[in-house]
């Protein structure tokens, strides 16, 4: 700014100075030239009068002045010259001013010296005898004048330069100050040049627009952040260099990291993870399972394109541990069900085939039919258990709940199992207090039945089963304990799984479907009750249900 | 120019993480081949070893390029020079894992494997490698120092396994061959632990600029 103003001021000053000097010099010079020429002409006319009267004597008697006087004869020979020897001078008839004078009475001409620094003016006047008197004078030219005063010109220029600098800095500061004082946040407030008003108006409008857009973006970002932060899925956005650009807390939680710095591989460097990231950065969608500290994650990696080029990737991490476990359980369940159903059917089919082919003696038929009957009964019990379990799985929404006395149900179950217990000399020890439970009678019955049934099945002969029901201050408690074979510690966590049998080889002798405790567990879950199992192998098992 | 330098430094970091991860995988695979007698794991360890070698060459080339073209100083120079040293330790870990996998072929149906504390030693050694790589990834000085302390655990296991194997040979001289194989595996694991300590020391050096030379195990 200052530079530009300085340049303008300086150039203007220089131009004015040059123009002024030229004008003044030109005007004055031509005026003084005119005056000078008039002077010479006057002198010539005085001299001519004198020469007409007195001739050569007058000229020779003249004191030599500043002007050169030449008298040329009618034939052109120089008769007199006060500045040079007339005899040595050449013929002057062809000189411009002499010729003009011979022809028209007067003649003038000007000649410049070789250096252009001097100008000579000649004025010739014809005398009555045909001779010509010439007066000439020398004068400095404009150029030589300029050259002679260059020192002053330089002085003026330096002064102009200094003044321009000073003025430029002052002026630019003065111009800039109001502009600098504009508050760009509120450009329309404050006093400034009115020429700037449209610009400031635009800035203010743009400010408002930008503010509105920023607000909008902030809102959107907040929305986005709220959504991603509340996601259970981990979200990571990375660039081509695997640098993490964006992430949510779930991602950090799932990957067990406390902060993100640099490459995404600093969060996890397992093979599946690297593979997924590499694939995504090579433009391929990837969908993998990943194991991480005992949990299973679904890792989805998608490339991000810009102008047809991969610029990064989005990674999504889902915790699918439960789903995978459920899938595994379901697969096991299906396999188990098929197996459990097939075993009795194979027996039935075998016995029936023997009978069909007449390979059974008539007196054995009753025995074989008895076997078929037993296996069929086992199948019916099994299918019944499976149906009940799937009912419980379905959520049992259709079942009614009512106030039921747990003690009554327990009493009924024990009565039903009495004969089975008696066969093995097992005795019941009952401690029943009335305890009301909000629940479904059928499911409660099955729970108690399965627990007591197990207590008999897995008991030793002549053993004892202790069953107690107590109101327990609003949290009814059912405890069934036996004096039986117990459950090995390693299996205790798994006995509630469907079809899980501790002793797989003897299951047929003992009977049962392997679904009993599973039904108890589901029934308890339906009643929001807690099941606790405590067992000492070879000594006793106690199951406690706390409603 | 600076920007490109930073990008290249980042690439170096990422490549080192990948190489560290490959090391972890190769030992895990090698030990599975020994403990679970899983032949596919032995092949996997060998394949991973080859990949580790490739990575070493790539990273070395990258380091050279960085040194020559960018002429780094101070912290950056330390990072690059320690990277150069780290990859040779990592490469040795890969080699030793491949060696363990190789030995596993001679230990088919060997009843002795379960009778020595090889699994515990393997877990400890793998943990050291994991921790040393973690220390590098997270630039974690205290973790790097913890790795050095953890080396004693692996060394103790080595002594214990040596005694156990001696006892097994005394018990039945036919155990000799298997015992020697197991001894070599234990030795390799012990060396892997030492390399992990080296890596941790290079991490320490790249952070602090101080390299302790006393009790240098290498």
Report all structural domains of chain A as residue ranges with CATH numbers, in order of start.
2-148 (3.30.450.20), 231-319 (3.30.450.20), 324-393 (1.10.287.130), 402-546 (3.30.565.10)
**Reported confidence tier of residue A509, pLDDT bands at 50, 70, 90:** low
Q: Which residues of B touch A265 (CB under 8 A)?
A: 14, 17-18, 21, 137
Looking at the complex, does the CB of residue B35 fall below 8 Å from at least one CB of chain A? no
Looking at the complex, does the CB of residue B187 fall below 8 Å from at least one CB of chain A? no
Question: Is A1 in contact with A172 (CB distance < 8 Å)?
Answer: yes
Degrees, nearest 5: CA angle A165-A170-A174: 145
pLDDT value of residue A492: 82
Q: Is there a contact between A274 and B10 if contact means CB atoms under 8 Å apart?
A: no
What does residue A129 show for φ and ψ, rounded to 5 degrees? -85, 5
**Under DSSP, is residue A449 helix (H, G, I), strand (E, B) or coil?**
helix
**Reported confidence tier of residue A216, pLDDT bands at 50, 70, 90:** very high
| Domains, chain B, with CATH or none | 2-208 (1.20.58.220)
Q: Which residues of B touch A255 (CB under 8 A)?
A: none
Looking at the complex, does the CB of residue A269 fall below 8 Å from at least one CB of chain B? yes
The predicted-structure confidence for B149-177, as pLDDT tens digits, reads as follows 888 888 888 888 888 888 888 888 777 78
Buried b (16+ CB within 10 A) or exposed e, A458-472: bbeeebbbbbbbbbe
**Reported confidence tier of residue A218, pLDDT bands at 50, 70, 90:** very high
**Under DSSP, is residue A499 helix (H, G, I), strand (E, B) or coil?**
coil
For range A196-214, the mean pLDDT = 90
Q: Which residues of A touch B24 (CB under 8 A)?
A: 269
Question: Is A100 in contact with A108 (CB distance < 8 Å)?
Answer: yes
Distance between CA atoms of residues A150 and A156, nearest Å:
10
pLDDT tops 70 at residue A510:
no
pLDDT value of residue A408: 87
The predicted-structure confidence for A42-97, as pLDDT tens digits, reads as follows 888 888 888 888 877 887 777 777 788 888 888 888 888 887 777 778 888 888 88
- Percent of chain A exceeding pLDDT 90 equals 4
pLDDT value of residue B176: 79
Question: Is A252 in contact with A264 (CB distance < 8 Å)?
Answer: no
Looking at the complex, does the CB of residue B20 fall below 8 Å from at least one CB of chain A? yes
Nearest-CA distance B14 → chain A (Å)? 6
A265 closest CB neighbour out of B7, B18, B24: B18
CB atoms within 10 A of CB B97: 32
Q: Which residues of B touch A269 (CB under 8 A)?
A: 17-18, 20-21, 24, 133, 137
Question: Is A272 in contact with A290 (CB distance < 8 Å)?
Answer: yes
For range B136-143, the mean pLDDT = 84
pLDDT tops 70 at residue A508:
no
Q: Which residues of B touch A274 (CB under 8 A)?
A: 18, 21
Q: Which range has the worst mean pLDDT, A119-133, A348-362, A490-504, B30-44? A: A490-504
pLDDT value of residue A395: 66
Residues 6+ apart with CB under 8 A from A343: A508
**Under DSSP, is residue A109 helix (H, G, I), strand (E, B) or coil?**
strand
**Reported confidence tier of residue A506, pLDDT bands at 50, 70, 90:** low
Question: Is A242 in contact with A281 (CB distance < 8 Å)?
Answer: yes
Burial class of A165 by CB neighbour count within 10 A (0 to 12, 13 to 18, 19+): middle
Nearest-CA distance B102 → chain A (Å)? 22
pLDDT tops 90 at residue A319:
no
Best of B17, B24, B129 to substitute, by most chain A Cβ atoms within 10 angstroms, is B17
For range A334-358, the mean pLDDT = 85
CB atoms within 10 A of CB B14: 22
pLDDT value of residue A511: 66
pLDDT value of residue A271: 83
For chain A, the straight-line distance linking the first and the last C-alpha, in angstroms and rounded, comes to 88
**Residue B16: closest C-alpha in chain A:** A265
Distance between CA atoms of residues B118 and B160, nearest Å:
10
pLDDT value of residue B217: 52
For chain B, the straight-line distance linking the first and the last C-alpha, in angstroms and rounded, comes to 38
A269 closest CB neighbour out of B10, B11, B21: B21
Distance between CA atoms of residues A337 and A339, nearest Å:
5
Q: Is there a contact between A262 and B13 if contact means CB atoms under 8 Å apart?
A: yes
For range A444-470, the mean pLDDT = 86
B25 closest CB neighbour out of A243, A265, A271: A271
For range B34-46, the mean pLDDT = 83
Q: Which range has the worst mean pLDDT, A61-65, A289-293, A501-505, B28-32? A: A501-505
pTM value > 0.80: no
Using left for φ > 0, alpha for ψ between -120 and 50, and beta otherwise, residue A473 falls in left
- List own/partner pairs for A56-64 with CB under 8 A and 24 or more apart: A56/A80
Nearest-CA distance A264 → chain B (Å)? 9
Tell me the ipTM for this assembly: 0.78
For range A515-540, the mean pLDDT = 84
pLDDT value of residue B32: 85
pLDDT tops 80 at residue A117:
no
For range A198-220, the mean pLDDT = 91
SS (H, E, C) A369-409: HHHHHHHHHHHHHHHHHHHHHHHHHCCCCCCCCEEEEHHHH
Looking at the complex, does the CB of residue B146 fall below 8 Å from at least one CB of chain A? no
Question: Is A439 in contact with A392 (CB distance < 8 Å)?
Answer: no
Q: Is there a contact between A265 and B11 if contact means CB atoms under 8 Å apart?
A: no
Best of A262, A270, A272, A278 to substitute, by most chain B Cβ atoms within 10 angstroms, is A262
Looking at the complex, does the CB of residue B153 fall below 8 Å from at least one CB of chain A? no
pLDDT value of residue A170: 86
The predicted-structure confidence for A242-267, as pLDDT tens digits, reads as follows 888 888 888 888 888 777 777 888 88
DSSP A338-363: HHHHHHHHHHHHHHHHHHHTT-S-GG
**Which residue would you say has higher pLDDT here, A336 or A314?**
A314
pLDDT value of residue B57: 92
pLDDT value of residue B13: 86
Looking at the complex, does the CB of residue A368 fall below 8 Å from at least one CB of chain B? no
**Reported confidence tier of residue A220, pLDDT bands at 50, 70, 90:** very high
Interface of B with A in 55-114 (CB under 8 A): none
- List own/partner pairs for A509-517 with CB under 8 A and 24 or more apart: A510/A457, A510/A458, A511/A378, A511/A457, A512/A453, A512/A454, A512/A457, A513/A340, A513/A381, A513/A382, A513/A385, A514/A336, A514/A340, A515/A382, A515/A385, A515/A386, A515/A389, A516/A385, A516/A450, A516/A451, A516/A453, A516/A454, A517/A450, A517/A454
Looking at the complex, does the CB of residue B47 fall below 8 Å from at least one CB of chain A? no
Looking at the complex, does the CB of residue A271 fall below 8 Å from at least one CB of chain B? yes
Nearest to A528 by CA among A449, A439, A458, A398: A439
Q: Is there a contact between A263 and B21 if contact means CB atoms under 8 Å apart?
A: no
**Residue A264: closest C-alpha in chain B:** B14
Degrees, nearest 5: CA angle A139-A140-A142: 130
pLDDT value of residue B214: 56
Distance between CA atoms of residues A480 and A457, nearest Å:
13
Q: Which residues of A touch B29 (CB under 8 A)?
A: none
Q: Is there a contact between A241 and B133 if contact means CB atoms under 8 Å apart?
A: no
Q: Is there a contact between B20 and A269 if contact means CB atoms under 8 Å apart?
A: yes
Q: Is there a contact between A269 and B18 if contact means CB atoms under 8 Å apart?
A: yes
Q: What is the CA radius of gyration of chain B?
A: 19
**Mean pLDDT rounded to a whole number for chain B:** 84
**Mean pLDDT rounded to a whole number for chain A:** 84
Looking at the complex, does the CB of residue B11 fall below 8 Å from at least one CB of chain A? yes
Question: Is A233 in contact with A221 (CB distance < 8 Å)?
Answer: no
Q: Which residues of A touch B25 (CB under 8 A)?
A: 271
Q: Tell me how far CA of residue B96 lies from CA of A338, B102, B125, B132, B193, in angstroms.
A: 48, 10, 12, 17, 11
User: In this structure, what token pair is assigned to residue A36?
Assistant: 């000078």
Question: Is B20 in contact with B136 (CB distance < 8 Å)?
Answer: yes
**Reported confidence tier of residue B2, pLDDT bands at 50, 70, 90:** low
A110 DSSP 8-state letter: E
**Reported confidence tier of residue A143, pLDDT bands at 50, 70, 90:** confident
Nearest-CA distance A265 → chain B (Å)? 7
B17 closest CB neighbour out of A241, A243, A265: A265
């Amino acid at each position: 700014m200052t530079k530009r103003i300085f340049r303008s001021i300086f150039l203007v000053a220089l131009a004015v100075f040059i123009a002024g000097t030229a004008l003044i010099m030109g005007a004055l010079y031509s005026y003084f030239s005119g005056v000078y020429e008039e002077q010479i002409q006057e002198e010539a006319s005085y001299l001519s009068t004198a020469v007409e009267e007195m001739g050569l004597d007058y000229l020779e008697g003249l004191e030599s002045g500043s002007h050169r006087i030449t008298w040329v004869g009618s034939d052109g020979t120089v008769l007199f010259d006060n500045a040079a020897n007339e005899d040595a001078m050449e013929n002057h008839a062809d000189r411009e001013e002499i010729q003009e004078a011979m022809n028209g009475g007067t003649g003038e001409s000007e000649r410049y010296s070789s250096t252009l620094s001097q100008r000579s003016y000649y004025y010739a006047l014809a005398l009555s005898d045909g001779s010509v008197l010439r007066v000439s004078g020398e004068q400095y030219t404009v150029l030589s004048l300029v050259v002679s005063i260059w020192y002053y010109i330089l002085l003026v220029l330096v002064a102009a330069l200094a003044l321009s600098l000073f003025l430029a800095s002052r002026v630019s500061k003065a111009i800039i100050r109001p502009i600098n004082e504009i508050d760009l946040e509120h450009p329309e407030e404050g006093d400034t040049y009115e020429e700037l008003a449209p610009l400031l108006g635009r800035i203010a409008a743009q400010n408002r627009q930008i503010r509105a857009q920023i607000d909008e973006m902030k809102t959107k970002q907040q929305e986005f952040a709220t959504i991603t932060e509340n996601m259970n899925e981990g979200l990571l956005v990375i660039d081509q260099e695997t640098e993490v650009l964006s992430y949510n807390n779930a991602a950090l939680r799932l990957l067990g990291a406390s902060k993100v710095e640099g490459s995404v591989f600093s969060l996890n460097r397992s093979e599946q993870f690297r593979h997924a990231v590499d694939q995504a950065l090579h433009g391929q969608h990837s969908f993998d399972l990943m194991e991480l500290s005992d949990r299973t994650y679904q890792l989805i990696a998608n490339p991000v394109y810009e102008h047809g080029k991969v610029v990064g990737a989005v990674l999504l991490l889902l915790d699918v541990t439960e789903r995978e476990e459920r899938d595994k359980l379901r697969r096991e369940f299906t396999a188990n069900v098929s197996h459990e159903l097939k075993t009795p059917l194979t027996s039935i089919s075998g016995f029936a085939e023997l009978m069909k082919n007449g390979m059974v003696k008539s007196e054995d038929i009753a025995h074989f039919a008895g076997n078929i009957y037993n296996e069929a009964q086992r199948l019916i019990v099994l299918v019944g258990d499976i149906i009940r379990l799937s009912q419980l799985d379905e959520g049992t929404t259709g079942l009614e709940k009512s106030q039921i006395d747990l003690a009554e149900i327990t009493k009924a179950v024990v009565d039903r199992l009495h004969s089975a217990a008696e066969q093995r000399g097992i005795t019941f020890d009952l401690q029943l207090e009335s305890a009301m439970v909000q629940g479904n009678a059928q499911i409660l019955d099955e729970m108690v039945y399965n627990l007591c049934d197990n207590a008999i099945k897995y008991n030793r002969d002549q053993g004892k089963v202790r069953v107690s029901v107590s109101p327990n201050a609003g949290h009814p408690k059912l405890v069934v304990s036996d004096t039986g074979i117990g459950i090995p510690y390693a299996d205790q966590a798994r006995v509630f799984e469907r079809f899980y049998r501790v002793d797989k080889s003897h299951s047929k002798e003992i009977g049962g479907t392997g679904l009993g405790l599973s039904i108890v567990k589901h029934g308890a879950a339906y009643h929001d009750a807690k099941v606790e199992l405590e067992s000492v192998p070879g000594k006793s098992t106690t199951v406690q249900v706390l409603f | 120019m600076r920007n490109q330098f930073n990008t290249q430094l980042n690439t170096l970091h990422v490549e080192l993480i990948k190489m560290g991860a490959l090391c972890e995988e190769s030992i895990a695979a090698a030990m599975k081949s020994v403990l679970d007698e899983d032949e596919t794991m032995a092949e996997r360890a060998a394949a991973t070893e080859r990949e580790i070698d490739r990575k070493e060459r790539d990273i070395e080339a990258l380091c050279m390029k960085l040194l020559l073209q960018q002429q780094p100083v101070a912290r950056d120079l330390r990072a690059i020079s320690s990277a150069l040293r780290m990859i040779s330790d990592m490469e040795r870990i890969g080699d030793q894992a491949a060696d363990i996998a190789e030995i596993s072929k001679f230990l088919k149906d060997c009843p002795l494997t379960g009778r020595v504390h090889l699994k515990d030693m393997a877990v400890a050694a793998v943990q050291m490698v994991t921790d040393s790589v973690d220390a590098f990834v997270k630039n974690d000085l205290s973790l790097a120092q913890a790795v050095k302390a953890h080396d004693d655990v692996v060394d103790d296991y080595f002594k214990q396994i040596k005694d156990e194997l001696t006892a097994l040979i005394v018990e039945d001289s036919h155990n000799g061959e298997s015992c020697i194989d197991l001894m070599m595996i234990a030795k390799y694991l012990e060396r892997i632990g030492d390399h992990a300590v080296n890596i941790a020391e290079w991490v320490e050096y790249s952070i602090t600029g101080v390299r302790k030379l006393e009790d240098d195990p290498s």
